[in-house]
Structure 1
Amino acid sequence: MPPKEAAEKTTEKRETRGRSLVTVLLLLVVLLLSGGYVYYFFFGGNSRGLAAAPTGNNSEPAALQKLSLDSIVVNLADPGLHRYLRAKITMEYSDPKLATELNDKLYRVRDTIISVLRSKKTDDLQNEEALKRELLTAINSQLTAGQVRALYFEEFIIQ
């Protein structure tokens, strides 16, 4: 084989290898973008909004709705210790009128939660159910259109 033909075949192999590398990289970028979209859609897209819509069937009880709050970080009241708590809370309710009030009074609800949590010592946080009841009572005292039925900790970290 003449040297000119060998050089052309080598050049063709390099171009083919370069195209396949570009194709693989392009495919990888598309997969990452679509994976990010799926993650955002299912896990992060509606963190402040309402997740469940009430059903139209009147024979069933009202569908539960939820409101997930952003993470709340507070210093704890332990004397001499510098500890903090990070909590992510989701509230559950069934009254559709409460959705508007919760969105309007979200700043009050967050302030109430922060005030309750900031007053706690590390030992006070051991009984999770008592803490949930106290937070529910404090939150519901701020509301007039309905009551929050349940409260869930999605994140609860003491450091």
Structure 2
Amino acid sequence: MPPKDETVKKEKQGRPWLTIALLVLTLLLSGGYIYYFFFGGSKGVNASSPTSRQETAIMQKMSLEPIVVNLADPGLRRYLRTTITLEYGNAKLTAELNEKVYRVRDTLISVLRSKKTDDLQNEDALKRELLTAVNAQLVGGQVEALYFEEFIIQ
């Protein structure tokens, strides 16, 4: 019967190592979960929400008076009526835009008056061209976006 006692003894000796290994594995998994929860996972979710709120809170806008121009279509009497809003992030640019609103409007009118009806079909290209023209008039900052609130061709 001594062989049975040796088998039981060997099983009891192997169990403490198994228990320790399971305990260490459990601690590592728990630590990883806690680290992810407090430092990894929550940062990604919460960091995007306040940033987007801050960006919308920081952005300034200026709506211009409606602009009416004759289009450059030969032989046709067409005109464009549009209302444009400028969006920018620099609050100091508000003062410069208020001082130069006549220049900005003149620049927009000049660009729009040179367009034909077909040129107005690509809205993104038109916005980029107008934005470049407006930013050329400014010294203290740049307008980041331009939006059409009204765009009527007749």
- Which bracket does the TM-score occupy, shorter chain normalised? 0.5 to 0.7
In 2, the alpha carbon distance for the partners of 1:151 and 1:96 equals 16
User: Superposition pairs for residues 1-159 of structure 1, below 5 Å?
Assistant: 60-61=54-55, 63-159=58-154
In 1, the alpha carbon distance for the partners of 2:81 and 2:65 equals 10
Describe the superposition over 1:93-123 as per-residue Cα deviations: whole angstroms up to 9, x where unpaired.
Answer: 0101100000000000000000000000000
What is the one-letter code of the residue matched to 2:142? Q
The equivalent of 2:42 in structure 1 is none
In 1, the alpha carbon distance for the partners of 2:91 and 2:123 equals 28
In 1, the alpha carbon distance for the partners of 2:70 and 2:83 equals 15
Q: Which runs of 4+ in 1 moved over 2 A?
A: none
Counting aligned pairs with the same residue, the percent is 75
CA RMSD of aligned residues (A): 1.0
In 2, the alpha carbon distance for the partners of 1:64 and 1:155 equals 21
CA offset at residue 92 of structure 1? 0.2
Structure showing greater Rg: 2
